[in-house]
Amino acid sequence: MQKYLIQGGSRISGEVRVQGAKNSSLPVLAATVVCSGESVLHNCPDLLDTEYAVKILEYLGCQCRREGGSVIVDSSTVSRWEVPDRLMREMRSSIIFLGAIASRCGRCRLSYPGGCEIGQRPIDLHLLALQQMGMQITEDHGYLDCRVDGGFKGANVVLSFPSVGATENVILAAVLAKGTTVITNAAREPEIADLADYLNRCGARIFGAGEGTIRVEGVEKLSACEHTIIPDRIVATTYLTAAAMTSGSVRLTGVDCRHLSSILPLFEEAGCEVRRLPNEVILETSRRPLPIGLIRTMPYPGFPTDAQAPLMAMMTMARGTSVFVENIFENRYKHAAELQRMGAHIKVEGRVAIVEGIQRLHSAEVAATDLRGGAALVLAALAAEGTTEVGRIHYIDRGYDRLEQQLTALGAHIKRLD
């Protein structure tokens, strides 16, 4: 098992191009199943999660290959409609294949998904919505055996919570359905709009993606296309935090400032100078962060739950006290205990975490507990005194494309070791 060895105290400074979004590339890869021909997906990050998604596509019969930053998928040879348990367990978002496979094949058999244990992410919203569209579901010893006799049918789907995954599954089911599907209380994340952009280029008729109500008019056939994945707003947040915690400066290129509208003001509140340019963000600071009074995670366009851990790492060194309220997942403070090993003053009560900033963190042996929590530990190590060992970095590899190389280019002293 690999680990990072990080010598803290270096100032993070320089320019970095932000990778493609993990949370966009996975549903778009799944969407290639419903499209005939060869799709070319540019800016597709090289991650463990995208690797597992490609393995699922290959198991289904697709022909896949990577060429640099692009993944090419030929779905014309799909021959299977089940996903083996060993692949489902590797990532939580594997459930996104349900709507795509059932739409293409009329059947789908898969087990419950795995991935980071950050709390309950029930798939009942997915299943209830797809049942409204004609899916018959039988649970069989941990597997879901799903049938759609005669294909999906358009329906009015009202989600009790704006779930990103459920919204994506309904869209994938609806694009080839008979009739029109209307999704009310749909997720509004940029990744939803990116999925719709890809499918619309393939011939789908999706209206309102990125808004609370989405209308999908089913079509008979979709043809593959060329598409560029949007930049990863959480990875962008991670690099901004690295500079803010080390009194540094960073220029991010290839970003969309609109996707960071709930995040950039918090860096300004923390005393950083932030400049927004077309497709670029520049952050500069020369002092310890100021405290951010209250940070609440909310569905988009609110503050994203995935950015909570990196911002908590920054607030451990703030000149005052900050309060976090986690409204999305009930078990997403596992990184707090590891940060405490580095000297952080954090008190967790249920969904609330109170962070009392200290002047300096110290080195320790810590271990990633999930993807974003692992990134928070790396950030803390960059600013800490001494050399920190961060274990279980396979979690970090799920969402960051060669993180150690990017940070080294920005001045960090970080090594990957076996």
Any known ligand binding at 92? yes
Nearest to 130 by CA among 170, 187, 178, 182: 170
Which strands sit side by side in the sheet containing 70-74, from one edge to the other?
63-67, 70-74, 38-42, 226-228
On whether 122 is known to bind a ligand per the annotation, the reply is: yes
Alpha-helical runs (H) found in 293-370: 308-315, 334-341
Residues 6+ apart with CB under 8 A from 339: 312, 313, 316, 346, 361, 366, 376, 377, 380
State the DSSP H helix or E strand holding residue 17, giving kind and residue range, or none if neither: strand 13-17
Helix (H) or strand (E) holding 318: none
CA distance 168 to 187: 9
22 near 47, Cβ under 8 Å?
yes
Distances from the Cα of 107 to the Cα of 12, 110, 148, 277, 334, angstroms? 50, 10, 6, 47, 38
Residue 124 in marked binding region: yes
Is 116 noted as a catalytic residue in this protein? yes
Catalytic position from the list 108, 116, 225, 272: 116
Q: Cα separation of 342 and 361, whole Å?
A: 6
Please state, in angstroms and as integers, the Cα–Cα distance from residue 296 to each residue in 269, 285, 322, 365, following that order: 15, 24, 11, 29
Q: For 253, which DSSP code?
A: E
22 annotated ligand-binding residue? yes
Is 125 marked within a binding site?
Answer: yes
Give, for 62, the enclosing helix (H) or strand (E).
Answer: none
Binding-site members are: 22-23, 92, 121-125, 306, 328
Binding-site members for UDP-N-acetyl-alpha-D-glucosamine are: 92, 121-125, 306, 328
Binding-site members for phosphoenolpyruvate are: 22-23
The catalytic residue positions are 116
